[in-house]
Amino acid sequence: MTVHPHAPARGAARPATSWLMVEGVVAFILGIIALLLPMAAGVAAALVVGWVLVISAILGFVALFGDRGAGHRGLSLLSALVALVAGALMLWNPLVGTASLVLVAAAYFLVDGVTLVFQARHFGRGGRQGSGWLMLNGVLDIALGLALGLFGPLVAPVVVGLVVGIDLMLWGAAMAAIGAAARRAAAAAA
């Protein structure tokens, strides 16, 4: 029996594929919850981004005073102040923060969609199953990005929640499908 030098050891693919499938199922369930509670999911997303910005600002201030020789101090101070103000505004009024998130999400989904389309093409060229899910996720992300850019600011909290839910469900389905395909391929190779 000849073993390919780059082939995984027998049974090595099972834990990785199992975790992909678990990730997929959990993401899909979270997506359903976000779809059922879109306003809450939108406000939660704004609050998370607000806290991330405030924490980033605090770390920026710490770094500013802790490392005196690195970078331009004025620009570092400005960056930390902008993050602090933006984060505080999102925490103070997350509904208004969702309008900003919609525009940022539109840009994210457009870039992420294009990236996923290219990943799906690369994934499919390798003969791997599941590339169709990545392609679908990419195309729908591009469509979501365009829709958000055009209509999102009008109904921002609900839109953010729905978009988060849809994307989580698509990501979950893609990961579960890739994990299942990898498990079938590992079983066939064994």
Q: Contact 116/134 with Cβ under 8 angstroms?
A: yes
CA distance 108 to 143: 12
For 8, which DSSP code?
A: P
pLDDT attached to residue 3: 39
pLDDT attached to residue 68: 63
Secondary element (H or E) of residue 110 = helix 94-125
At which residue do the structure tokens 């970078």 appear?
Answer: 71
Give the mean pLDDT of the chain.
82
pLDDT attached to residue 29: 93
pLDDT in tens, 148-166: 888 877 788 887 788 789 9
Using 70 as the pLDDT threshold, list the residues of the chain that sit under it: 1-16, 67-72
Q: Is the pTM of this model over 0.75?
A: no
Q: Residues of the chain with pLDDT > 70: what percent?
A: 88
pLDDT attached to residue 47: 92
